[in-house]
């Protein structure tokens, strides 16, 4: 089981970690220029949506395909990722990490089956058309099937969170919340489920615990600290910068790739989130509105008088527990980091022969 977990984590790390720089770039832009950022700028804010919707998933899809079959596999992986993006209303990071390698694998198998049957001099034409036709078919399948399927998953996850809260199992709601967050469904859960509940609760009691559930920066801080202390390679080196963007800039999306690169780290997020929620419930904590973005400064801005100790206690407990569990996991089940540049060189079938003069 440990070997399987390490294998999955290593494969996902090879897709996610080489693209951390792009995530940090998006996080910096978002932290500064969105309407609730440090230096709001309507013109520059137009970058935020396209980058998270198109650029980052396509980068993941390309990297996944490239890992399987070099540049040719990466191209097909990027094309099919574009299909699932169009077919869904939420960022398709999980989908990109699934369909990118699938696209690379399928074009690799096609080349292996047809390598001996392509006439000499027609290799380039056959290679280009085969990749184009396969990519087009997979993209259409993504629009019609994969994207809507993941959309349905997003809706079901939100309904599950709502049901747990209504049943009085508020700390347990952190389990689907954290799963949704690392799949970049955080805005759908927060604004679609938790914010309406919080608004009604705040109107009655002057504060609402629902505003604390998804936005708590503590568990994410602990996770990134764990990578900074016990991580390896690019994840360890980039974690300190991600901490600043996450905790002070309020852009939680910056830590999601770190969990995706080593899925067992979701246990650290669950531990930190559940313990923080228990503190919030025990101390009757609440905010007057949703902190946006979810930085520690935004938290302080919407904390009502007399609630600073309960709120900050939950944030601190979430960070401490997440760090303790995360650093332990990283030592016991370390990430087998791979670089996309070290992927196997594709077979010679994808290198066209010189065209005779």
pLDDT digits (tens, 9 = 90+) for 240-259: 999 999 999 888 989 998 99
CA distance 224 to 102: 30
Nearest-5° Cα angle at 64, 61 to 67: 150
Measured CA to CA in angstroms, residue 260 lies from 12, 67, 94, 101, 105 at distances of 7, 16, 8, 15, 21
Radius of gyration, alpha carbons of the chain: 22
User: Is the model more confident about 11 or about 21?
Assistant: 21
Q: Are 287 and 211 in contact (CB under 8 A)?
A: yes
Which helix (H) or strand (E) segment holds residue 315: the answer is: helix 308-332
Write the pLDDT tens digit of every residue in 157-185: 778 888 888 787 889 999 999 988 888 88
Measured CA to CA in angstroms, residue 192 lies from 44, 157, 199, 235 at distances of 26, 11, 12, 32
Structure tokens at 273: 């989130």
Reported as a pLDDT band with limits 50, 70 and 90, residue 341 is very low
Task: Supply the pLDDT for residue 6.
Answer: 57
Q: Are 187 and 98 in contact (CB under 8 A)?
A: no
Reported pTM: 0.79
CA distance 312 to 218: 9
Reported as a pLDDT band with limits 50, 70 and 90, residue 9 is low
Q: Which of 78, 75, 68 is nearest to 128 (CA)?
A: 75
Residue 347, pLDDT > 50, answer no
* Residue 287 main-chain phi, psi, to 5 deg: -115, 165
CA distance 94 to 2: 22
Rounded mean pLDDT of 27-38? Answer: 85
Which stretch of 63-67, 119-123, 293-297 has the lowest confidence by average pLDDT? 119-123
Residue 349, pLDDT > 70, answer no
Compute the mean pLDDT over every residue in the chain, rounded to the nearest whole number.
Answer: 85
Rounded mean pLDDT of 110-116? Answer: 85
User: Is the model more confident about 9 or about 140?
Assistant: 140
């Amino acid at each position: 089981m440990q070997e399987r977990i390490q294998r999955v984590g290593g494969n996902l790390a090879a897709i996610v970690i080489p693209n951390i720089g792009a995530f940090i770039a998006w996080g910096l832009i978002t932290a500064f220029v969105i309407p609730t950022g440090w230096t709001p700028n309507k013109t520059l804010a137009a970058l935020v949506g396209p980058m998270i919707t198109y650029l980052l998933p396509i980068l993941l899809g390309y990297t996944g395909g490239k890992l399987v079959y070099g540049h040719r596999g990466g191209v097909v992986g990027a094309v099919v990722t574009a299909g699932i993006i169009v077919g869904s209303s939420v960022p398709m990071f999980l989908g990109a990490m699934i369909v990118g390698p699938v696209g690379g694998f399928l074009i690799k198998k096609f080349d292996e089956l047809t390598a001996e049957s392509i006439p000499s001099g027609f290799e380039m034409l056959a290679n280009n058309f085969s990749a184009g036709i396969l990519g087009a078919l997979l993209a259409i399948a993504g629009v019609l099937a994969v994207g809507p399927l993941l959309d349905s998953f997003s809706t079901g996850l939100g309904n599950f969170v709502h049901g747990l809260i209504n049943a009085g199992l508020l700390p347990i709601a952190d389990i689907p919340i954290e799963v949704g967050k690392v799949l970049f469904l955080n805005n759908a859960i927060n604004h679609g489920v938790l914010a309406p509940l919080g608004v009604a609760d705040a109107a009655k009691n002057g504060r609402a615990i629902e505003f604390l559930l998804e936005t708590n920066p503590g568990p994410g801080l602990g996770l990134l600290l764990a990578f900074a202390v016990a991580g390896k390679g690019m994840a360890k080196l980039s974690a300190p910068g991600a901490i600043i963007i996450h905790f002070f800039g309020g852009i939680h999306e910056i830590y999601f790739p770190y969990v995706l690169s080593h899925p067992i780290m979701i246990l650290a997020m669950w531990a930190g989130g559940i313990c923080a929620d228990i503190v919030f419930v025990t101390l009757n904590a609440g905010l007057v509105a949703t902190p946006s973005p979810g930085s520690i400064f935004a938290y302080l801005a919407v904390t009502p008088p007399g609630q600073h100790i309960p709120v900050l206690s939950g944030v601190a407990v979430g960070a401490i527990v997440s760090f303790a569990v995360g650093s332990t996991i990283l030592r016991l089940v370390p990430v087998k980091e791979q670089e996309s540049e070290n992927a196997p060189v594709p077979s010679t079938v994808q290198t066209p022969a010189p065209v005779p003069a």
